[in-house]
Structure 1
Amino acid sequence: MTGNFSALTRQNHVVKEMKRAIYSKPPRNRIGAAQSFFVMSVFAAAMLAPAAWILRHLPEYRQRVQRSPRT
């Protein structure tokens, strides 16, 4: 019984610690529109660049498969 009780109190302690990390105040440093645009552009480029590379080289990948069939 004591093992279950300590587990329950430990969970309450973890929840309290997590609540302390949540801030409800306004940010100390405001981020401007230019910074937001730059960060979102870099993020979009990082996500789309690998897909664009694969799509651009897709005909080459198809030719490789046709030349050497799998056995």
Structure 2
Amino acid sequence: MPLLLRTIARRAAPVLRGHTVAQRAHISGKPAKGTVGPVETVVGIGMFSMAILAPSGWILAHLEDYKKKD
């Protein structure tokens, strides 16, 4: 590596690195405090599905209304 490039890389390296913050995940090896039953699981998945699919379905069902120009 040429001397000029090596000098530039050495001076820029601390600037490019910045301040690194060590983030650690708080992972626990213990079992869950409470169990989630099958009914709660079905309700939770159903609510997430409705939250994602309902707005899309509404737009698709009323697509012709959106195409009309007043």
- TM (norm. structure 2) is 0.63
Letter paired with 1:27? A
5+ residue gaps, structure 2: 1-13
5+ residue gaps, structure 1: none
Partner of 1:30, secondary structure, is coil
Letter paired with 2:59? I
More helix by share: 1
Match of 2:57 among 52, 60, 70: 52
Match of 1:43 among 48, 57, 61: 48
What whole-Å deviation, never above 9, does each CA across 1:8-60 have from its counterpart, x for those lacking one? 7xx4xx34xx24x1012110100001101101100100000110110011001
Q: Percentage identity across aligned positions?
A: 28
Q: Which runs of 4+ in 1 moved over 3 A?
A: none
- TM (norm. structure 1) is 0.63
Over the aligned positions, Cα root-mean-square deviation in angstroms equals 1.9
